[in-house]
Structure 1
């Protein structure tokens, strides 16, 4: 299983892209602005999109993706998410006002897109690639994802504040090779981080102390203009874990 980072920033500007991970050629985990860098023929190969939560920086490419490639495909794109997330997409995005409802185009029996509800703890098996929704703690209902090839595994936290249930998954994961965890703000913005349920470096360090596993740790969702400062503080507070900044086009093999 190959995982490629299409976007990992908390904003846009220049080369920055918001969150999306491409699993092999046919699966997205979140669908931020980085999806738009794929060629049209690569976009048409995407069959499954796993959404962590409904915020725009994680879902904004879904409407454009479906609209761009629907005529090139013979089957609908499947959008996975917890019930609350799917309800938000139905009500506020694919609602004929902000964007057409592609679950009804061309018609309800032959749609270009379908929703599939998953629950925290539930695993979707895609030809031996196991993707499990895991607990997260954010301002809207949210999950992260545990991705397991059978040989190695990766945990992607999604957007989350401290949540012991997340560490239960991390510590129980077999063959855990990588942890991708958010730290959106620097320590000087801790009040904003707390209000918006994001991590900041000193908080991340205290959370990592709950981890018994020893994966490689990568930091995602850094806010534009503060990446260098935030990573400096991450390494000051969590240096023994040797966290590294996640980068666009970085690849992980599981």
Structure 2
């Protein structure tokens, strides 16, 4: 039964825009070996994180990459396969130079797996709008988003149904264009990081408030998809949830929390 559930859903490992007790940062499990982002792998998966082989990064901000460091550190001697880290060229460069750089944390791309010849980490640069095969019936396609650093979202497809993970973004123009030309996208995950009184900060940091989010959604020609909201800042969660309810209009958003599932429907 669990296998069937996984085939038709994405497990939310971390749903929030910053870490706090009981709140994990962004990470989605596509299948038992593949995630989008790495904000909350260790707490959510514990020893199961040994099985993670592929991490598709949306961008280089810490809340999306932090647990790469800890799953490698905690389970170094038990890992038997290289961890492939996929991302835009700018994202890979940032991780190599500023994170796993032998100053902040070890450069695991130069360290061999325990008792093996393969390296612990392999970096793979990806191209926006190119489709990549994950398995026989799974593909993933990155698309550019509007953030303060190079950033992408992903369209993840199983058979003929897709989920769009938009990641951190301010403008939804590209999201709108992709949605309106891809009817196979049945569910969409969009951020809403700040309360409406923090609109200036949202603009400066390239994030959304509920007012900004629904103003853009209301211009979409399509509304026949399930809308999921993530990346809420825990400190402002109650206020943001109330504002989402006030501004949602015709939309019926599902506000994500850690360990929820996103369904292909």
Same fold (TM over 0.5): yes
> Structure 2 unaligned runs (5+)?
1-6
Residues 17-60 of structure 1 show CA distances to partners (whole Å, capped at 9, x for unaligned) of 111111121111111035433131x1111110010000000000
Relative to structure 1, is the Cα distance of residues 176 and 35 closer, same or farther in structure 2, using a 3 angstrom cutoff? farther
How many residues matched?
252
Partner of 1:9 in structure 2? Answer: 16
Give runs of aligned pairs for residues 168-187 of structure 1, distance below 5 A: 168-187=177-196
1:236 aligns with 2:242: no
Residues 209-229 of structure 1 show CA distances to partners (whole Å, capped at 9, x for unaligned) of 232332111111111221121
Tell me the TM-score normalized by structure 1: 0.94
Tell me the TM-score normalized by structure 2: 0.90
Give runs of aligned pairs for residues 26-45 of structure 1, distance below 5 A: 26-40=33-47, 42-45=48-51
In structure 1, distance between residues paired with 2:218 and 2:199: 19
* Contact 1:20–1:35 (Cα < 8 Å) also in 2: no
Give runs of aligned pairs for residues 40-119 of structure 1, distance below 5 A: 40=47, 42-106=48-112, 110-119=118-127
Q: CA deviation at 1:110?
A: 2.4
* Contact 2:19–2:63 (Cα < 8 Å) also in 1: no
* Contact 1:157–1:181 (Cα < 8 Å) also in 2: yes
* Contact 1:33–1:61 (Cα < 8 Å) also in 2: yes
In structure 2, distance between residues paired with 1:67 and 1:250: 27
Q: CA deviation at 1:153?
A: 1.0
What's the C-alpha RMSD, in Å, of the aligned pairs? Answer: 1.6
> Structure 1 unaligned runs (5+)?
none
* Contact 1:36–1:61 (Cα < 8 Å) also in 2: no
